[in-house]
Amino acid sequence: MTIAPDGRSLVGEVVRLDRLQDNDYDELYAAIGNEQVYAGGFGGGVAPKSAAEMRESWIPAAAKRFAYGVRLVADSPLGAAGTLIGTSSLGDVDVPNERIHLGWTGYAPSVWGTAVNPAAKLLLMKHAFEDCGFGRLKIQTGLKNTHSQAAIAKLGATREGVLRRHMAQADGSWRDTVVFSILADEWPEVRKRLEERINR
């Protein structure tokens, strides 16, 4: 039986994911509110000018999905335990058709290429496939964001194709979107690969 996510905290050895709260946006802006994060098309491609602007634009959108703040679990060279270093979400929940979208992901540049992304993805996918029983998980990114495409492929997701002129961007341009997916019967192998990456 497939059920919708319930917003529970997801806790691992590297990161913990808690539902974003209104008072998280000052810290989130400090982590990801810069042009480097938005350059690949994240958040429409235009960085907010302040935490207040981020809060105003994000809160209505985040309310429509399960938006999480990603925090470090333990002190490390990446930061102190509890530091908010990014965000990711589960959304587009379709229980009858057993499908869900993992996305809206952005991290502080200081944690790019570390265990943070695979650790967060492991927690979100485990919740989607094992706790909620979804059969299909979609991940997508902009065609120009080759960094993100490589990261998604490294998870073990299958590239399905490109949706042309798919999304309007904040600067008035249109984004072509690359769609990837992971199916429930592929999840055990994907999980194994993620765990191996985290352990390395």
**Structural domains of the chain, ranges and CATH numbers in brackets:** 10-199 (3.40.630.30)
Helix ranges, 40-186 (H): 51-62, 116-126, 146-155
Query: Coil, strand or helix: which one is 118?
Result: helix
Neighbours of 86 (CB within 10 A): 23
β pairing state of 158-168 and 174-183: antiparallel
Buried b / exposed e along 97-121 (16+ C-beta atoms within 10 A): ebbbbbbbbbbbeebeebbbbbbbb
Per-residue pLDDT at 165? 96
Per-residue pLDDT of the chain (200 residues; tens, 9 = 90+): 999 999 999 999 999 999 999 999 999 999 999 889 988 778 878 889 999 999 998 899 888 999 999 999 999 999 999 999 999 999 999 999 999 999 999 999 999 989 999 999 999 999 999 999 999 999 999 998 888 899 899 889 999 999 999 988 877 889 999 999 999 999 999 999 999 999 88
pLDDT value for 43: 81
Structure tokens at 7: 């917003």
pLDDT the model gives residue 159: 97
Residue 167 phi, psi dihedral angles, 5° rounding? -140, 135
Residue at 111: amino acid letter: V
Q: What is the pLDDT of residue 169?
A: 81
Q: What pLDDT sits at residue 41?
A: 77
The residue among 111, 94, 125 whose CA lies nearest residue 192 is 125
